[in-house]
Amino acid sequence: MSRISLSRFLIEAQRTEGNLPPELRLLIETVARACKAISHSVNKGALAGVLGEAGSGNVQGEAQKKLDVIANDILLEANEWGGSLAAMASEEMELPYSIPENYPRGRYLLLFDPLDGSSNIDVNISVGTIFSVLECPPGDVAPSEADFLQSGRRQVAAGYTVYGPQTMLVLTFGHGVHGFTLDREQGSFVLTHPDMRIPASTKEFAINMSNQRHWEAPVQRYIGELLAGTTGPLGKDYNMRWVASMVAEVHRILVRGGVFMYPKDARDPSKPGKLRLMYEGNPMAFIVEQAGGAATNGRMPILDIQPSKLHERVAIFLGSREEVERVTAYHAAD
């Protein structure tokens, strides 16, 4: 049986299913090529002198790693000239990036977190890239920040690449979730995980327990029940995982189930959460829902949130449906 490359998979989806416009297919292939270049830089690490701090900060006020800057530049340069995009937005940049005037403009908007989990870079733990695709409002020749402020339900595609022992691209355009592994000898992504599904129940959770003292009461209740194991109300023992890379956490959930949580806490009441809605919450929620899971901010589906700004933050509970619905119900009862 011949292996199915990403390009073949996308072309067949465009031709036989009719649910993938050619411009969107080309955009996804361009993002995939950029992710291959990022993977190469990540894999070279100290050999290429790309580890350590960049000596700059991003719009979030966070210190940038060298690879944060490299990954951001790779994605911008790869996607600015292809004719599929009207504009781009990055977690690393304050304002949207307009397509240069000497290049054609397309119908889509691309948002991305160029290197999620970058605190893991120097210790050789998995990191990743997350991306989201929206349609630009018709007739808009100069997209602004307001054009990006669409709810997650309006995404036409989303995906992530995890740079781990293997480099994998996981993708949805609203018709299921499919995983592709990078064959380094051939230089192409190959379909290895078709129709990925998240088990409805789980015995595994991921959360940063060092923040427990800051959590709201519903989260304290839920985590307490998980930790109580077979002697508690849930009647089973749970294992905890924490990689400090959302891509790695979500990928584990897609492969074997689980629930990932980054709740709101009391340290900064003005912030509804830590992770970014547009670059992390929406694309991951789209993927998780398409794989049969659930994703909420504790009170409503993440995909139903109407964003008010480009770098808006959000609390996140996503993964196996039974657990996400349980912790969301605890918030509703609070």
* pLDDT (tens digit per residue) in 164-179: 999 999 999 999 999 9
- pLDDT at residue 54 in the model: 64
92 and 114 Cβ atoms separated by less than 8 Å? yes
Task: From residue 118, give the alpha-carbon distance in Å to each of 89, 115, 126, 247, 277.
Answer: 18, 6, 9, 11, 18
Phi and psi at residue 160, to the nearest 5°: -145, 155
- pLDDT at residue 19 in the model: 77
Binding positions are 91, 113, 115-119, 208, 274, 280
Q: Using 50 as the pLDDT threshold, list the residues of the chain that sit under it.
A: none
Phi and psi at residue 76, to the nearest 5°: -65, -50
108 and 25 Cβ atoms separated by less than 8 Å? no
- pLDDT at residue 293 in the model: 98
State pLDDT tens for residues 265-323: 988 888 899 999 999 999 999 999 999 999 999 999 999 999 999 999 999 999 999 99
Tokens of residue 225, six digits: 């029940």
- pLDDT at residue 138 in the model: 85
Binding positions for substrate are 116-119, 208, 274
- What pTM was computed for the model? 0.95
Residues of the chain with CATH 3.40.190.80: 204-333
Q: Rounded CA gap, 195 and 38, in Å?
A: 26
Residues of the chain with CATH 3.30.540.10: 6-193
User: Which CATH superfamily hosts domain 6-193?
Assistant: Fructose-1,6-Bisphosphatase, subunit A, domain 1 (3.30.540.10)
Q: Rounded CA gap, 247 and 315, in Å?
A: 16
- pLDDT at residue 58 in the model: 64
State pLDDT tens for residues 47-67: 888 777 766 656 666 667 889
Binding positions for Mg(2+) are 91, 113, 115-116, 280
Q: Rounded CA gap, 4 and 192, in Å?
A: 8
Phi and psi at residue 233, to the nearest 5°: -70, -20
Of the candidates 135, 127, 93, 74, which has an alpha carbon nearest to the alpha carbon of residue 110? Answer: 135
- Write down the CATH number for the domain with range 204-333: 3.40.190.80
Helices (H), 210-245: 217-228
